[in-house]
Amino acid sequence: MNTSPETIARSYRAEPHALFGACLTALGTTQARIERHDIERGLIVARAGQGWLAPASEITLRIGPAGSGMAQVAASMRPLRRGGDPRFLPALLQLIDGMLQV
């Protein structure tokens, strides 16, 4: 089983606090469980995958400034059960893209 995290980074034309809110909303839309979040550090850790037989993953989002009026997110996924769902992270970022209209 591959336990190394997959990471995808994206930049958005938005303030970091707006990106943080969009990330929380996208995770809620996917029914991921927020394990912890810290807006000052720009960190969100969530668990995706419901049910005993579903693939489960730990999702970590690190949000920070990326210049004037820009913010970036580094999203990583670590499989927890049944190899995780490799489609989850790209789908989550697609939701965030749609919210912030990249």
| CATH number of residue 54's parent domain | 3.30.530.50
Q: Which structure tokens are listed for 82?
A: 């049944």
Domain with 56, as residue range(s), is 6-100
For 4-25, give one letter per residue: b (16+ CB within 10 A) or e.
ebbeeebebebebeebbebbbe
Residue 2 has pLDDT above 80, yes or no: no
Is residue 79, in this structure, part of any structural domain at all?
yes
* Reported confidence tier of residue 4, pLDDT bands at 50, 70, 90: low
Is residue 61, in this structure, part of any structural domain at all?
yes
| Whether the predicted model's global pTM rises above the 0.85 cut | yes
Is residue 96, in this structure, part of any structural domain at all?
yes
The beta-strand segments (E) located in 1-102 are 6-12, 33-38, 43-48, 56-65, 71-81
**Counted domains in the chain:** 1
Is residue 1, in this structure, part of any structural domain at all?
no
* Reported confidence tier of residue 1, pLDDT bands at 50, 70, 90: very low
Percent of the chain at pLDDT exceeding 90: 69
Q: Torsions phi, psi of 101, nearest 5?
A: 45, 70
Structure confidence by residue, pLDDT tens digits, 44-75 = 999 998 777 778 899 999 999 998 889 999 99
